């Protein structure tokens, strides 16, 4: 019974200052929407996929014998190696020079991702940029330069493009609905927290029950405030 009364008291405390919850929730949601729409620079991602085939060129015979693996396993091993070549300075600086990009090697490196697709022979290259067209152009140029460098360095022609990168109009970092929903929940939590802080700091005595609760005194009488009684 005592726990039920305590729970009821907590609910009453929250309801008494429910306007704080409404205010913090609206404020947090509006701020989140404004920040998402105007403060976050949209980033777009474009991807290209390549296939590595160890059996395409006879020049890989010596490499295969060194690994002592089947052609599929060799291709999977090569995908891992090739994913690192994609991020090499010789490839990315060639891309920067070809497209006349206003960025350094490290700047371009921070915007690309090169990795195998699971345990397959497929290599995925993705590029992020503030311009969706630029992201696609950079991704396709990277794959083109990479293939030429593989042919020059390893003397093999075992990489084919599966899908070329295309511009995508949806930014990957602007999630208006998700951010607003998170802000809505955080606003409610912040409002409840503020209410309980104010209640803890409020030591004023307002009711007969407060006298008995905080002072430990028994009330033997009370005076009615006739100013709050409305005339009928």
Query: How much is the average pLDDT of 143-154?
Result: 91
pLDDT > 90 fraction of the chain, expressed in percent and rounded: 54
The answer to whether 57 and 106 are in contact (CB under 8 A) is no
pLDDT for 81 equals 86
Tokens standing for 198? Answer: 């104010």
Question: What does pTM read for this prediction?
Answer: 0.68
Looking at residues 8-15, what average pLDDT do you find?
A: 83
Domain with CATH 3.30.70.1130 in the chain: 42-55+69-166
Per DSSP, the three-state class of 229 is: coil
Give the model confidence (pLDDT) of 74-100 as tens digits: 677 788 889 999 999 999 999 999 999
Q: Is the pLDDT of residue 156 over 50?
A: yes
Q: Which of 31-35, 132-136, 157-161 has the lowest mean pLDDT?
A: 157-161
- pLDDT at 53 > cutoff 70: yes
More confident residue, 13 or 177: 177
Q: Which fold has domain 42-55+69-166?
A: Alpha-Beta Plaits (3.30.70)
Contacts 24+ apart (CB under 8 A), 160-163: 160/50, 160/51, 160/53, 160/56, 161/48, 161/49, 161/50, 161/51, 162/49, 162/50, 162/51, 162/122, 163/47, 163/48, 163/49
Is residue 230's pLDDT more than 90?
A: no
Residue 33 scores a pLDDT above 90: yes
Does the pLDDT of residue 108 top 90, yes or no?
A: yes
């Amino acid at each position: 019974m005592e726990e039920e009364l305590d729970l009821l008291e907590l609910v009453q405390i929250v309801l008494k200052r429910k306007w704080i919850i409404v205010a913090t929730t609206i404020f947090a949601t509006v701020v989140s929407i404004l920040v998402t729409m105007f403060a976050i620079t949209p980033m777009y991602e474009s991807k290209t996929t390549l296939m590595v085939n160890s059996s395409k060129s006879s020049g890989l015979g010596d490499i295969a014998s060194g690994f002592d693996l089947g052609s599929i396993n060799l291709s999977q091993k090569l995908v891992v190696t090739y994913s690192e070549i994609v991020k090499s300075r010789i490839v990315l600086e060639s891309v920067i020079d070809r497209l006349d990009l206003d960025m350094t090697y490290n700047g371009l490196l921070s915007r690309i991702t090169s990795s195998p697709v699971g345990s397959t022979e497929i290599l995925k290259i993705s590029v992020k940029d503030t311009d969706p067209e630029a992201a696609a152009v950079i991704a396709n140029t990277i794959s083109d330069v990479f293939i030429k460098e593989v042919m020059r360095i390893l003397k093999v022609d075992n990489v084919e493009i599966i899908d070329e990168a295309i511009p995508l109009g949806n930014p990957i970092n602007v999630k208006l609905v998700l951010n607003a929903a998170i802000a809505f929940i955080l606003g409610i939590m912040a409002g409840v927290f503020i209410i309980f802080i104010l209640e803890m700091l409020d030591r004023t005595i307002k009711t007969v029950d407060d006298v008995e609760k905080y002072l430990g005194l028994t009330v033997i009488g009370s005076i009615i405030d006739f100013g709050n009684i409305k005339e009928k």
